[in-house]
Structure 1
């Protein structure tokens, strides 16, 4: 149940920006740079999930560590791929 809650897109951009204490423009920039992909309603409104907010905070920690946005995109891609591979291993362990 917690997985469903964490991926459920519930926050508009103003609320999401307030929760992560960043300007809305920063969230838009992260989206343009491929660091964040919020859900879009049929009308085009961005909706952010708790998982999206965790990702934004990860981006901010990397920026504070001196990593540029291109580097951050690469780090996030590698972390995502690592997570997918770990899930595949877990699934294989459970079935075999």
Structure 2
């Protein structure tokens, strides 16, 4: 799937059959991180469109509220995925709060400070419409295997 930002917000909204206001609300709520040009114009890629389709599906089909989606995203074990050190835990607001995803925090003095959240593996985990529960189980299972492997070494 193409990750090149190419759709203006109005074009992306039209593709999805939603309003520009709804697109902006999803951004404000931290569900989507659009690419921003130097002029602050938002652009969306095919990958972003698919992510938004997944979010719309979770809202409309699975009956999960925006607040619920944010809390689910906040449960992603970001520290394990990006392999944070224990020192980084001290400065990580995402670990201290459980109500919004890690990419919505201003990262200072930690591993993610210089990272672009749009490019981060943690943000991109839910870019396909695999059921949320399946994905969280997979992440938890993969993390527990890594921990066991580390214990064996």
Q: TM-score normalised by the shorter chain: which range applies?
A: 0.7 to 0.9
2:8 equivalent to 1:12: yes
Count, aligned residues? 82
Give the 3-state SS of the residue equivalent to 2:58 in structure 1. helix
Paired position in structure 1 for 2:72: 75
| Whole-angstrom CA distance in 2 between matches of 1:76 and 1:57 | 16
Bigger radius of gyration: 2
Paired position in structure 1 for 2:57: 61
Deviation at 1:30, TM superposition (A): 0.2
| Whole-angstrom CA distance in 2 between matches of 1:43 and 1:9 | 14
Paired position in structure 2 for 1:94: none
Q: Which runs of 5+ in 1 are unaligned?
A: 90-96
Deviations 1:25-58 (A, max 9, x none): 1100000000000000000000001111011101
Q: 1 or 2, which has the higher helix percentage?
A: 1
| Whole-angstrom CA distance in 2 between matches of 1:60 and 1:45 | 23
Q: Which runs of 5+ in 2 are unaligned?
A: 77-120, 126-138, 147-153
Paired position in structure 1 for 2:44: 48
Paired position in structure 2 for 1:23: 19
Deviation at 1:76, TM superposition (A): 4.1
Q: CA RMSD in A?
A: 2.5
| Whole-angstrom CA distance in 1 between matches of 2:29 and 2:48 | 15
TM-score, normalised relative to structure 1: 0.73
Q: Give the counterpart of 2:29 among 29, 33, 36.
A: 33
